[in-house]
Amino acid sequence: MRQKLLTMLTMQDSMNTKVHPQWSEQNFEWYRAVWIECAELMDHQGYKWWKRQDPDLEQVQLEVIDIWHFGMSALFAHYDNVTDIADAILSAWSTIENQQLTVHQATEELAAWCLMHKSFSASHFWQLLVAVELDFEQLFVAYVGKNVLNFFRQDNGYKDGSYVKLWDGKEDNQHLVELTTELDTEADSFRDDLYNALSNRYQQLTG
């Protein structure tokens, strides 16, 4: 688990640096992005008692992955390096008592903590992870996949508008899921393998 946390933290730092080389010095309000993502999660979970709403678990889980991106970024402001951040996350997770929170409760507790402390809580995030039926391995695979796709988009013209998002009638997200299931997610080269697989399919279907 520790090694996978280090991998994700390093990947997040790389992504943030690609967007803004001095991102760690900009004091971006990552906590704000977290609680806004919490609100979007609520929309997918459903909260309106005055109309019928069916929870969309897949979309809820995707919002949790987005929250993790912003949450990890927020933690960089409080530690000197990724090793210290990973150790702090593991320490927080090791002391959690299973409270069996609902999705609504876990989401609200995380959002409230972020607003009160203007930071991110790894322990509250873990409660949300459990509430939306995700485990750590699923978090890792989903995060790496989304991060790799973000890099791939940037490397292939996303910023200037030349990137093609539909490959043979399917969005790149769908191809990402398909390719992930074909690879060994436990391999040290998983990230590079996934990027190369995306690149090969992109060239085949859009080139």
* Per-residue pLDDT reduced to its tens digit, 157-201: 988 899 999 999 988 988 998 999 899 988 889 999 999 999 999
Q: What is the pTM of this model?
A: 0.87
By the 8 A CB rule, do 133 and 164 touch? no
Query: What counts of helices (H) and strands (E) characterise the chain?
Result: 9, 2
Residue 124 pLDDT exceeds 90: yes
Average pLDDT over residues 119-134: 96
Q: For residues 69 and 146, is the Cβ–Cβ distance under 8 A?
A: yes
- 33-44, pLDDT tens digit by residue? 999 999 999 999
167 forms bridges with which residues in the sheet? Answer: 170
Q: Which residues of 129-157 are buried (b: 16+ CB within 10 A; e: fewer)?
A: bbbbebeeebbbbbbbbbbbbbbbeeebe
**Mean per-residue pLDDT for 132-160?**
92
DSSP string, 137-162: HHHHHHHHHHHHHHHHHHHTTTTTT-
pLDDT digits (tens, 9 = 90+) for 12-23: 999 899 888 889
Please report, rounded to a whole number, the percentage of residues in the chain having pLDDT higher than 70: 100
- Return the number of other C-beta atoms located less than 10 Å from residue 96's C-beta: 13
Six-digit token string for 8: 């994700």
In angstroms, the CA 175 to CA 154 distance is 17
Give pLDDT, residue 107.
97
Class of domain 2-134: mainly alpha
Beta strands in 89-189 (DSSP E): 166-167, 170-171
Q: Where are the domains of the chain?
A: 2-134, 138-206
Over residues 92-113, mean pLDDT = 92
Half-sphere exposure of 103 (CA within 13 A, CB side): 21
